[in-house]
Structure formats: C-alpha cells, structure tokens
A and B are shown apart, each in its own frame.
Chain A
C-alpha cells in the first residue's frame, strides 16, 4: 500500500489537490501533473511527514505549476516548518490560506492544534493569536512553538 495519496479535482483550469500521507523518496509527483492550471489549492491537512527527499521532489513539482496562483490550505506544523526553512517550498507569490499552530498546557500537559486563518488570526504581514485557548480542564494554553521562527513566513 502506498504511503501517500494525491487526488486532483479539476474544474476548468482550477485544480484542487489533496495530499495525504508520507512524502519521501517513494513519492513520484510526475504522476500528478500541475501543468495548465490557472489556480491550484493544495489541502495539506493530512500530510503526516516529509523528509529531505520529499522536500526536493515537492519543490520540483510545485515549480512546474508555472503561471498558476498557488495556495496552501490547512497546513500542519511539518509543512509550516518547511515553508519557513526551505526557499521555494512555498513558491513566490503563493499564499498560505490557513495553518495549524501547536498549543500546550503546562498544567495538564495537553497538546492541541489551533487553526489560524488568513484574514482572521493573521494578515499578510502580522499575526494576532487568539486569546483564551484552553485545555479540556479549562486551563489556559500557550503557543508551543518559537513564535519568531514559526510565524516567519508571515512576517518576512
């Protein structure tokens, strides 16, 4: 069974792409051509992991979407980390429409991912984290990442 799954829904030249699973040396993006699209919306919510081979293949693949307006949706932490670290992982001009932010409760040790959406919790240049994120016992939770590093793709 394949470790990853990529589904593309095409409406005219608008592509909706859902990527799930593990992106590593076994992924062959050549099977999923992005050529000809005018807009591409990638839902990345269920990407479970990515290694260096997966990153390289991803950059080649996404670079093939010449001329398309690219947007990333529901990005988990592993994707946000690559966007911040690897030039070209999010192509120039592409947008992140929403992404998850890990929260942690010192009291209970509970962890939770909170969705930040463009236009709500962040704009194209700044982030305003929502107040009052609480764990299941009602205790205040804190952002569990280094903010200056995690939000770098927004503020740079």
Chain B
C-alpha cells in the first residue's frame, strides 16, 4: 500500500541493519524506504513526503553528515527530522558537531536498541489529528472555536501572530477585534501588493480604506428614503470642489445624522469587499485611535457580520474548513441567551431547530448526515454562531466506529470530486489550515489529519482510505514535479474563456427575464452558477427566474428557496433597482401586495426606466381594481410620500 503516513527513509549501506530497521518501522505503522546511495536518497526525498531520515555517518560515497548538509537548505527541520547513527564516530565532540551542522534530532551509537530508535519518532496516530493542538498561527486562531473563555491578551497575541490568512478568515478576525475592544489598525496586503486596512477605536470601526473607492452614499440615502433621486441628481451635477456629503448637508438635503448613518453603512460595504477568496497578509498595529463619527459600533457590527458570512464566504471553503471538526460535538457558551440577536438572525431563523440540533451532543458529522438542514445555509449559520461566540466545539467523539471514519473520509473524498491535481493540493492545504507553500509540510499534516490506515479487513473503508491517499499523493507528486505553474496558466486561460461565456449567458438570461421567458433564463443562470457560483448579482436574477416559474404546487418551496437566496446577497448588491424589484416579487408571492407595491415603487425611484417594475405595479393596480378597491392608488401616494420624506 502506498501510504504517506509518517514516511521514513533509512540511508544505511549495511543491508541487514537496513532491513531490520525497515521491518521495525513498518510494524509500527510507518512507511519506510531504504537506500544505499546519495542519488537515490535525493530522488526519494524529492518525490516522497518523507518526514524522518535515519542515516549512517559512515557511507561509501559521502559521509552521512555531508549528505545531510547538502540537502538541508531544501529540507529544513520543520520538514525533515534527521537521526544520525554510527558505530565508529562516537567521540562526544564529533557527535556534538555533527548534530549542530546537520540540525539533527538525535545521535544513536551502534549498536542500539530498536525501541530506542522508534521512541524518537512521532508514531502514527489511530485517529484524526486534533485541531486543538495546532502550532500554525492561523489554526491557533481557530482553536478559539473550542475555548469558552479567551483572555484579551491571548486574543491579541493570536491576532498578532498571524502572517498570511485567507480572505474568508476576515469576518472572524474583525469580530475578535471588535469583541476585544481593540484600538489601532489592521493592515492587509494582497499577493499582488495592494495595501488596504481598517482602523478601530475601542472596538468601534472608524475607518475602512480599500482600493475600490466607489461611493454608495447617494444610492444608500435614496434607498433608505433620506434623499429624493432628483435631489441626488442635482448634487451629482454640482461641479464645486466640496465633498459629496458636504454638498448634501450644506444644501439641507439630508441631515448630518442621516449622512453619518449612510457613511457607516458604506463602511459595511467596503468591509464586505475585503472578504475575498484570496490569500492576504495581515498585520496589527495597536495604537490609540480617536473615536470620530461616522463609525460602526459593536451592535451594528453584529448585523453586518451576519450579512458577510451569509453572502461572501463560499460553501466550498466552509466544507473544507470544518472537515477538521467533524468528530466534535458542540455546546453553548456562557454568552448564550435565548434572545441573543444572533439567534434571531435570518440565517438561524430560516433553519428551524438549528440551535437544538447543534447543542444536542451529536457530532458535526452526525448533524450533517441527519440531512435535516440544507448544507450551505447550515454551514454559514454554524460559522456565524461560532464566530459570534454562542457555541464552541466541546469534546471529540472518542470511540470512532468504522462507520464514523467512513462518513468522515467520504466527506473529504466528495470534496476532491472533479478537481485537478493542483486544485486537490490547494484544497488539502486549506483543510490542514496552512497558508504556506511547503508541500512536504502540507502532506505530512494531511496524513496526521486522516489518521492511521484502517485494517485491510475493513475492505470498504480501507479502499476509500487508499483512494484518498493516492489522490493526495498524486497531487503532491504533481506539485513537486514543477508542472503546477504550467497547469495554473492553462487554468487561467480556460477561466478567461469561461468568464466570457458566462457573462454572455448571464446577459442573455437577463434579456429572457425582461421578456418573461423564465424557463430559458433559469437554465442559462444555472449554467452560469455551475461555472461561477459567485458571479455578481447571480442570486438576485436566479430568484427572479424562480419566482417567475412559480406555480401553486411549488409555491411554498420556491418562496423558502428564494428567501434563502436573498439572505445570501452581499451588501454591495443591495442598493440598486433590481434588488428592490425582486424583493417586491417575493412580497407579491407571499401575498403581501402592499409591501410589493412599495418595493416596486422603490425600484422605479432608483431606476425610472425599469419597465418590469412599472408592469408589476400595473398588475397590482389591476388586481386592486378587480377587487373594486382603491387600496393601491391610495397606497401609492403614501408610498411615494414615505419613501421621499426626509426622516430628520
């Protein structure tokens, strides 16, 4: 069996000793290779994820010490442990020098007891590794998911230790900064050198600086009913040097309070835009920051946090992230209270009995296998509750049955489905929580992560384990072969072509929606979704198509699905006419015609050329007339009155 569990290379020219060592290691569950010459040794080290080298000091072609010195720069101690052995060179000064120059772990004088050698090497474990004992800074951060209480200093130190993170880690990082009442700056740098960041004063977010300076103030003020679109137009036309907000307040179009509210919401949108599917370098600068308006206060932050997790983090990332916690159950923290706002949030509310299931003592894997919840919102709600500090992972299931392991390995295997070798390796890297590019470390961590190989008697489990390890090993070997960049270039080219295709399909779908050809539109949008689930505004248009296709039999189901889609729309997509229009369609489907009318009117105020909204208003008016009532005509006045009335 080709297994990458704690692989050992024995470099020894005495074939009898070499064979004995190999047998001893294999009995303990290691995979052991033997070699007698440096070239073979180098090749094995380059191709296999070997974690331990046991090497004789006296070898025919070059000394063991010289060999280790020649490979050390490529295989530092984090990747490769070295155990030196010799029966001739046993002088204390030689031992000391050779350990120093090779960064060796131990020196064994021959003859030695095999048990002594085995005791020096970390043994394969029979269960998946515990995320609670990671030394990786990013993983240490997530260890807080299993700790009820963490001191402010420990939180700060965990954040300070971070180096490279994933953009989807940011909601949790932001929440730690807010919760620990941090003052200072969080500076962020993308892999292409873009610098951005945010500033906080005692946990209040006072500034968000991102490269994309698009302003949403006008749209926000119109959306919230603080500003009439005509007034907005006149301010846009004003060519004076004053800042946009200043023009609005000086001309008494909006109050400073309304402007502050819009500005803090704009910070929410800008923070949302930082949460991307990319690697990001982070660094924390603790300093006094003055609290100046506008700012996002912790209560507001909790709502925004919900929206970012619901709309920005992909289910693929969450699946990979939570693989390590599958055998853990969850419990309530002291912060839990029945009326906590997080429990009343849309994500949690749309999953009935979610909190009961999560705190039932069942492992995460068991809850998922129960199939009581739709996977994507379930993961998002789980992440939100853990990030909000209402839940923690408690104990890991100690008596893992074959079925438990089977379920766990199946979940990992399913994630590899349809991926190429580079993508598989990237996914493994994410599963083990590493952001660094040392393939040997990644594969070693993954091997610990999977646990010991099952017995060949457990045929199905054994076969699954083998398939998984083979996929991982092939991915590792591909990455080591240096072909990654070429494949990534090819993938990038394919992505460009796909992007063009999906954009075209998306535009076609929009045209079909305008013409009420919902079935064609829905098919096209599904094709876009298959290629790029995060395509901008996809969820909004999907919702429109679904509502358009709705019949009386599937009404409840479709309404629930669309409600779930609407929760997952990012803040930056919520301030244009189409969002209000689809919300109007949803209200109409629910039978709330008054709300629907208001929302269609709002869509038209944001985009007066929106024919479909006008059409819907006419339909509603027609329905009202049929009922011989004047409800909507009366309402229309109220609606426009309330939308454009300045609130302060």
Q: Which residues of A contact B (CB under 8 A)?
A: 22, 25, 48-53, 55-56, 59, 78, 81-82, 84-88, 145-146, 149
Contact = CB atoms under 8 A, between A and B. Distances in A.
Given A50-B285, A55-B195, A85 B185 contact: no
B189 A53 contact: no
B260 interface: no
Given A81-B285, A82-B187, A88-B193, 8 more contacts: A50-B285, A51-B207, A51-B209, A52-B187, A52-B188, A56-B195, A59-B195, A149-B161
Interface string B157-175: 0001101000000000000
Contacts of A78: 285, 287
Q: Which 10 residue pairs are nearest across A and B when measured between Cβ atoms?
A: A52-B197, A49-B287, A51-B185, A81-B283, A146-B161, A85-B281, A52-B209, A85-B283, A149-B163, A52-B195
Nearest to A102: B160
A86 B193 CA distance: 7
A59 B189 CA distance: 13
Residue from B209, B283, B284, B287 whose CB has the most chain A CB atoms within 10 Å = B283
B137 interface: yes
B188 to A, nearest CB: 7
A86 B195 contact: yes
B189 A51 contact: no
B193 A87 contact: yes
21 contacts: A22-B287, A25-B209, A49-B285, A49-B287, A52-B188, A55-B187, A59-B195, A78-B287, A82-B187, A82-B283, A85-B163, A85-B189, A86-B189, A86-B193, A145-B160, A146-B137, A146-B160, A146-B161, A149-B137, A149-B161, A149-B163
B18 interface: no
A64 B199 CA distance: 28
Given A86-B195, A88-B193, A48 B287 contact: yes
B128 interface: no
A4 to B, nearest CB: 13
Contacts of B160: 145-146
B291 to A, nearest CB: 15
Nearest to A78: B285
Nearest to B153: A109
A15 to B, nearest CB: 25
Contacts of A55: 187, 195
Contacts of A145: 160-161
B196 interface: yes
A86 B163 CA distance: 11
Contacts of B207: 51
Interface in B285-324: 285, 287
Contacts of B197: 51-52
Nearest to A58: B195
Contact of B185 (A52, A146, A149): A52
Contacts of B225: none
A25 B197 CA distance: 12
B184 interface: yes
Contacts of A52: 185, 187-188, 195-197, 209
A50 B209 CA distance: 13
Contact of A53 (B137, B161, B209): B209
Given A22-B287, A51-B199, A51-B285, A85 B187 contact: yes
Residue from B195, B199, B207 whose CB has the most chain A CB atoms within 10 Å = B195
Contacts of A59: 195
Contacts of B283: 81-82, 84-85
Contacts of B284: 81
A12 B429 CA distance: 53
A81 B197 CA distance: 14
Residue from B163, B282, B285 whose CB has the most chain A CB atoms within 10 Å = B285
Nearest to A88: B193
Given A78-B285, A146-B137, A50 B163 contact: no
Contacts of B209: 25, 51-53
Contacts of A51: 185, 187, 197, 199, 207, 209, 285
A59 B207 CA distance: 21
Contacts of A87: 189, 193
B278 to A, nearest CB: 15
Interface in B177-209: 184-185, 187-189, 193, 195-197, 199, 207, 209
Contact of A49 (B161, B163, B184, B189): B184
Nearest to B185: A51
Contacts of A48: 287
Contacts of B161: 145-146, 149
A17 B287 CA distance: 23
Nearest to A146: B161
Contacts of A25: 209
A108 B183 CA distance: 24
A50 B286 CA distance: 10
A84 to B, nearest CB: 8
Residue from A25, A84, A85, A86 whose CB has the most chain B CB atoms within 10 Å = A85
Contacts of B282: 85
A23 B197 CA distance: 14
B281 A49 contact: no
B643 to A, nearest CB: 36
Interface in B593-629: none
Contacts of B187: 50-52, 55, 82, 85-86
A106 to B, nearest CB: 12
B165 to A, nearest CB: 12
A48 B281 CA distance: 21
A153 B623 CA distance: 71
B133 to A, nearest CB: 17
B458 to A, nearest CB: 40
B185 A50 contact: yes
B556 to A, nearest CB: 48
A25 B292 CA distance: 15
A14 to B, nearest CB: 30
Contacts of B285: 49-51, 78, 81
A78 B188 CA distance: 13
A3 to B, nearest CB: 10
Interface string B270-286: 00000000000111110
A18 B84 CA distance: 52
B193 A49 contact: no
A144 to B, nearest CB: 8
A47 B160 CA distance: 18
B254 to A, nearest CB: 25
Contacts of A88: 193
A145 B161 CA distance: 7
